[in-house]
């Protein structure tokens, strides 16, 4: 997908999982139209001036029919964020999932950690992340 004024720039990781930087409330309708049904917010509130709060973004997303998971990550994803990411991935079924943080890196790391904890080989996981533009070579998988 290409970046436009109405939809976030999203990058495909695998299957129904996509990642992006910060999602804005005015991008939600375009994301819904693009088939996204689940949002996983890995961004802590207050990282940057003008950033929507998780609660405000969650309310706007839920009003459009999104399922919303909030799992703030500072640095490496902790066990709570990994568990929330795993729950979102498991609960989505065939629905398209968009995970986001400021740049998409923490979301990609959380996804990769879930994949590897669940038995995936780190080599193709890192390759999928690299294809989406994220270097996980230093992430302990």
Q: Is 20 exposed, middle or buried (0-12, 13-18, 19+ CB in 10 A)?
A: buried
The whole-number pLDDT of residue 91 equals 85
Q: How confident is the model at residue 1 (pLDDT cuts 50, 70, 90)?
A: very low
Q: What proportion of the chain, given as a percentage, has pLDDT over 90?
A: 84
Question: Given a cut of 90, is residue 113 above it in pLDDT?
Answer: yes
**Which domains are assigned to the chain?**
10-131 (3.90.190.10)
Residues 6+ apart with CB under 8 A from 55: none
pTM: 0.91
The whole-number pLDDT of residue 25 equals 94
Higher pLDDT, 6 or 106: 106
Question: Given a cut of 80, is residue 5 above it in pLDDT?
Answer: no
Please write the tens of the pLDDT for every residue from 114-125.
Answer: 999 999 999 999
Please write the tens of the pLDDT for every residue from 56-103.
Answer: 999 999 999 999 999 999 989 999 999 999 998 998 878 899 999 999
Give 66's DSSP letter.
-
Please write the tens of the pLDDT for every residue from 30-53.
Answer: 999 999 999 999 999 999 998 999
Question: Given a cut of 50, is residue 4 above it in pLDDT?
Answer: no
Edge to edge, the sheet with strand 67-70 lists 10-14, 17-20, 96-100, 36-41, 67-70
Helix (H, G, I), strand (E, B), or coil: what is residue 18? Answer: strand
User: E strands of 57-113, at which residues?
Assistant: 67-70, 96-100
């Amino acid at each position: 997908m290409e970046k436009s004024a109405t939809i976030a720039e999203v990058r495909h990781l695998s299957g129904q999982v996509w990642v992006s930087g910060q999602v804005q409330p005015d991008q939600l309708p375009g994301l819904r139209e693009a088939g996204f049904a689940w949002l996983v917010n890995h961004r802590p509130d207050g990282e940057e001036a003008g950033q929507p709060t998780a609660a405000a973004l969650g309310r706007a997303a839920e009003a459009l029919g999104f399922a919303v998971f909030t799992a703030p990550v500072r640095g490496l994803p902790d066990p709570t964020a990994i568990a929330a990411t795993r729950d979102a991935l498991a609960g989505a079924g065939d629905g398209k999932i968009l995970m986001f943080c400021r740049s998409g890196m923490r979301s990609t790391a959380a996804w990769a950690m879930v994949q590897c904890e669940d038995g995936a080989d780190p080599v193709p996981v890192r390759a999928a992340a690299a294809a989406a533009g994220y270097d996980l070579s230093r992430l302990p998988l």
